[in-house]
Amino acid sequence: MLEDISICLTARARWRSLSYEFIEDYSHWISAAALILLLFWETAVPFFASFFASKSERAIHCGRNVLLGLLNALMISGLFVGSWVWAAETSENIHLGFFYLLGLDGWIHACCSILLMDFWTYWWHRMNHRVAFFWRFHQVHHSDRKMDVTTSYRFHLGEIFLSSLFRTGLILLFGIKLWHLAAYEAFMFPIVMFHHANVGVPKEIDRLLRLVIVTPEMHKVHHSNFQPETDSNYTSMLSIWDRLFRSFKLSSDSHGIAFGLEGPEREHKALNEMLKAPFGS
Ligand SMILES: [Zn+2]
Ligand SMILES: [Zn+2]
């Protein structure tokens, strides 16, 4: 009898680990497919056709953003994935965390974790705009004057370091499992790529989509160089947070939006300019 229970528990633990690995692999493939699809879409029907004078100019722009994304991915895999695994396993082993206290299990636990992570990302992003210290790092994301799908990779290492650190605390505090984290990223990353892409969606479809997710119409407003517009539409995946916390904003003329930050010195074109940006005056 005890042996049966032990085999059953081992199989269950193995299944959990497999489901995490499966979703994580799956999320990488979805993200890669989304990137390729959106690059093709931007090439075929760009929303702002005048962004790049030549193919090489576009390639250099994309290359810099993706390189910054790769540096972040290296930092995360070297410094944080281990701490997220440790935090999730610790909270699962001793049932530490608010969701365990509530006795949540299965899909309800997973849905609450995903909602919580998206809610946290909304407030983290809003804080990045409100607190001068965090804005020093976040401005690098906003300094791109030619926003396209690769802008979704353009975050300063300091911003990703801090958000990854907070995420470890969030996992412990609420009892988030690894596969919840992987499932959140499987949904969130392709949506983030989509709303940064230099593409337009027919108005009716955008209107329907933004009932649930953040759309290109919404995020274009967030990247406007006009600050009252920049300080809006903070959410990453679900549009409900902007509606709930009154930061939802649309533009009557998306084609008239100018991206980036005001001032020639704040464009941060080269990689070293992006990396040094937070430490300037
Ligand atoms: Zn922002
Ligand atoms: Zn953005």
Residue 1 above 60 pLDDT? no
Rounded-to-integer distance, Cα 84 and Cα 137, Å: 23
For the CA of 139, the nearest ligand: 1
- Of residues 4 and 88, more confidence is placed in 88
Q: Tell me which H or E stretch contains 215.
A: none
Q: Answer whether 234's CB lies under 8 Å from 247's CB.
A: yes
Residue 268 — pLDDT band, cuts 50, 70, 90? confident
User: What tens digit of pLDDT does each residue of 149-171 get?
Assistant: 999 999 999 999 999 999 999 99
Q: Answer whether 197's CB lies under 8 Å from 214's CB.
A: no
Residue 22 — pLDDT band, cuts 50, 70, 90? low
Q: State the pLDDT at residue 265.
A: 76
Q: State the pLDDT at residue 19.
A: 58
| Centroid of ligand 1 to alpha carbon of 194 (angstroms) | 16
Rounded-to-integer distance, Cα 258 and Cα 223, Å: 8
Residue 263 — pLDDT band, cuts 50, 70, 90? confident
Query: What is the torsional sign of CA 93, 96, 99, 101?
Result: positive
Average pLDDT over residues 68-76: 95
Strand partners of residue 75: none
Rounded-to-integer distance, Cα 126 and Cα 236, Å: 11
Lowest mean pLDDT segment, chosen from 152-166, 209-223, 266-280: 266-280
Helical segments of the chain, H only: 2-44, 55-75, 81-93, 98-101, 106-130, 132-142, 157-174, 178-196, 203-209, 216-222, 227-230, 240-244, 271-276
Q: Answer whether 158's CB lies under 8 Å from 135's CB.
A: no
Please report where in the chains the tokens 């974790």 appear, as a residue: 113
Residue 7 — pLDDT band, cuts 50, 70, 90? low
Q: State the pLDDT at residue 251.
A: 94
User: What tens digit of pLDDT does each residue of 242-254 get?
Assistant: 999 999 999 999 9
pTM of the model: 0.90
Residue 197 — pLDDT band, cuts 50, 70, 90? very high
| Centroid of ligand 1 to alpha carbon of 171 (angstroms) | 24
Mean pLDDT over each residue of the chain, to the nearest integer: 91
| Centroid of ligand 1 to alpha carbon of 3 (angstroms) | 54
Average pLDDT over residues 21-43: 85
| Centroid of ligand 2 to alpha carbon of 17 (angstroms) | 32
| Centroid of ligand 2 to alpha carbon of 239 (angstroms) | 14
Residue 110 — pLDDT band, cuts 50, 70, 90? very high
| Centroid of ligand 1 to alpha carbon of 108 (angstroms) | 30
Residue 26 — pLDDT band, cuts 50, 70, 90? confident
Residue 24 — pLDDT band, cuts 50, 70, 90? low
For the CA of 152, the nearest ligand: 2
| Centroid of ligand 2 to alpha carbon of 11 (angstroms) | 41
Give me 120's structure tokens. Answer: 């946290």
Q: Answer whether 146's CB lies under 8 Å from 60's CB.
A: no
